[in-house]
Chain A
Amino acid sequence: MTATHMTTDSHDPPRAGKPPEALSRVLAGVRAHARPIVLPLVTAALVIAAWEALVRVRNIPDVLLPAPSAVAVRLWETLPFLLQQAVPTTLETIAGFAISTVLGIALAVLVSASRLAREALYPNIVFFQLIPKIALAPLFIVWLGIGSSSRITFSVFISFFPVVVATLTGLTSVDRDLLRLCKAVGARPWKVYTEVRFPAAVPHIFSGLKIAITFAMIGVIVGEFITAQAGLGYMILFAASQAEMALIFAAIVLLCVIGLALYALVVLAEALALKRYGD
C-alpha cells in the first residue's frame, strides 16, 4: 500500500483549512476524560484554600487549628522522622491484610464446603460483623502484650470479616445449571472448587479485599493508639499530648498517602485479575 492510498482510504481524512474543528473535538475529549479527575481536585483545593483563609483571617492559633501551609512546613521538616514511624505502620497493615486474606478465604471455603461448618459458624460470623470491634481492642493488649503481634492480630480481627463474606458470596454465586453440568459429567467436588467456584469468586473476593485493606490500616492505627510504642498512630497520640497540632496533621497526611497507595495496589491487582476472571 502506498502513502497516497493510505491518505485516501483513511476513514477520517484531515480536511485542509478546518483544523480548529478537529482541535476543539480533541479538547472536548480531553475535557470529558479529565472532568472526573479535575472536579474533585478543584473541590479539594477550594476547601484547603478556605481553611487557609479562615486560619489567617481569624488569626486562629496553631494549637487549635494549624493552617495547611503550616502543616506542609511541618511535614517537610519532620519527614525523615515521620517516614521512619510509617515503616512499622505500613508493614503491620500489610501483614494484617495478608493474614486476613488467607484466613478469610479459607474460612469462606470451609463454610461453603461443609454444611456442618456453615450451620455452626455462619450465624456467628454475621453476628461478629455487628460487634463494634474497636471496643475489644484493649483485650488484645491483655492477651498479646504491646508488641506488633498484638497490633497485627487486632488488625486481622477487624479486617477479615469482609473477606469472608465477599468470598462466600462469590463461591455460592455460581450458576446452578453450571454446577449441575459439572456434576453430570462426574466432576469431583474439589475439582468443582478449583475450576469453577474459586475462579467465579475472584471478582467478589477483590471487592472484599478493597474493604479489608482500609480496615487493616484502621486496626493497626487503633492498635498503635492503645499500645503506644511506635508508628504513625502513636505519633499522633504523642503529638496531641504536646499540643503539636501541625505534626498531627502532617502524620495524617502521610497516613492518607500510604492508605491510598495500598488501596491502589489492591485495585491494580483487581484489574489484572478481572482481565482474566471477569465477565
Chain B
Amino acid sequence: MITDEAPFQAITARGVRKVYSTPSGAVEAVAEASFEIARGDFVSILGPSGCGKSTLMLMVAGLEPATSGALTLDGLPVAGPQISAGMMFQDPTLMPWRSVLDNVLVPVSMRRPVEADDLARAEHLLRMVDLWQFRDKRPRELSGGMRQRVALARALVTDPRILLMDEPFSALDAITRDEMGLALARIWDTTRKTAIFITHSIREAIFLSDRILVMGRRPSTIIEDIRVPFPRPRTPAVEAEPEFNDLYLHLKASIHRTTPAMH
C-alpha cells in the first residue's frame, strides 16, 4: 500500500545504464546514473546536448528499458510503461483533429471511457492554464504557448504521481517561455508533484527547481547534484538575489567543463 506519507523516495535510480544498439554499432546514451528523488521534489536535469537526458527520462517512464541497473517508482521496480507518469515534450504533440478539451482527455480516453470525474478534472486544469474558454477550439487555432499549456493540462489530467517534462518550453519564444515558467511554478505550487524537468536553460532550472542534477558527456553520468535554497512560492524577484547569480555561474562553469571540445 502506498500512501502519501509512505517514507519511500518517489524515484530511485541505481547504476542505470543505457546502450542503444543501432545498425552502426552500440551507442552508450547513459553510462551510469544513480540518484534518489524525494516525493514532492521538483528536479531539473541540465547537461550538454546528447548526454542522455531524454533517454534517462524515457527509462524512468518505462518507455525504454535500462540496459542494466535498477529504477523504482514509489518503491516499485519500473518494468514497462508507467501510467503514474504524466509527460510533456518539446513539441505539444496535440492531435489536430481533436478539440482542446478532447486533447486534454487523451490520456484517459486512450485507456477507458471518459467519466464525469475526468471531465471535471479536465475543466479544472483548463481553467488553471487559462484555456477553458478555448476548450472547443482546435490546436491549430492556438498559439505555441497555448498549445504547450494544453499539453501541461493533458499531462496532469490523470493526476499522475510524477511529472516528466523533456524541454517543454524549448520551442517557445523567450517571452512566452518566461510566462510558461511562471505558470508552471504557480501550478506546481498547488499540486507539488514529484517532477523531473529537462532543460537547457540554467535560469529556468534554478527558478523552478528544488534540486538540479547536471549530466556530463562521455561518460554520461551525473556530475553534480545541487539543492536550490530559495523558499516557495517563488517570484521572478529571486533572480535578483546574489545567490541566484552565484548558482547560475557555478552551473554554467560546470556544464562548460563537460564540453571541453566546444570553444
A residues with a Cβ closer than 8 A to B are: 175, 177-178, 180-187, 191-192, 195-196, 199-200, 202, 276-279
A195 to B110, Cβ gap below 8 A? yes
Residues of chain B with a CB closer than 8 A to A199's CB? 95, 97
* Contact partners of A186 in chain B: CB under 8 A: 81, 83, 110-111
Interface bracket on B = 20 to 34
- Per the bound structure, the CA–CA distance linking A40 and B81 in Å amounts to 57
Q: Does B61 contact A (CB under 8 A)?
A: yes
Q: Is B75 among interface residues, defined by CB-CB distance under 8 A? A: no
B89, A276: Cβ atoms under 8 Å?
no
Interface assignment of B156: CB less than 8 Å from any CB of chain A = no
Chain A residues in 8 Å Cβ range of B87? 177, 180-181, 184
Given contacts A180-B89, A279-B140, 11 further A-B contacts (CB under 8 A): A177-B87, A177-B91, A181-B87, A184-B62, A184-B63, A186-B83, A195-B95, A196-B95, A202-B97, A277-B96, A278-B140
Query: Does B48 interact with chain A (Cβ within 8 Å)?
Result: no
Asked whether B82 is an interface residue with its Cβ less than 8 Å from the other chain, the reply is yes
Top 3 A-B pairs ranked by shortest CB distance? A187-B110, A177-B89, A178-B93
Q: Which residue of A lies closest to B140 (CB)?
A: A279
Tell me the chain B residues, 100-141 only, with Cβ under 8 Å from chain A.
106-111, 140
Contact status B110-A182, CB under 8 Å: yes
For this complex, 29 residue pairs linking A to B, each with C-beta atoms less than 8 Å apart, are A177-B89, A177-B90, A177-B93, A177-B166, A178-B95, A180-B58, A180-B63, A180-B87, A180-B89, A181-B106, A181-B107, A183-B81, A184-B62, A184-B63, A184-B83, A184-B85, A185-B106, A185-B107, A185-B110, A185-B111, A186-B83, A186-B110, A186-B111, A187-B110, A195-B109, A196-B95, A199-B95, A200-B95, A278-B96
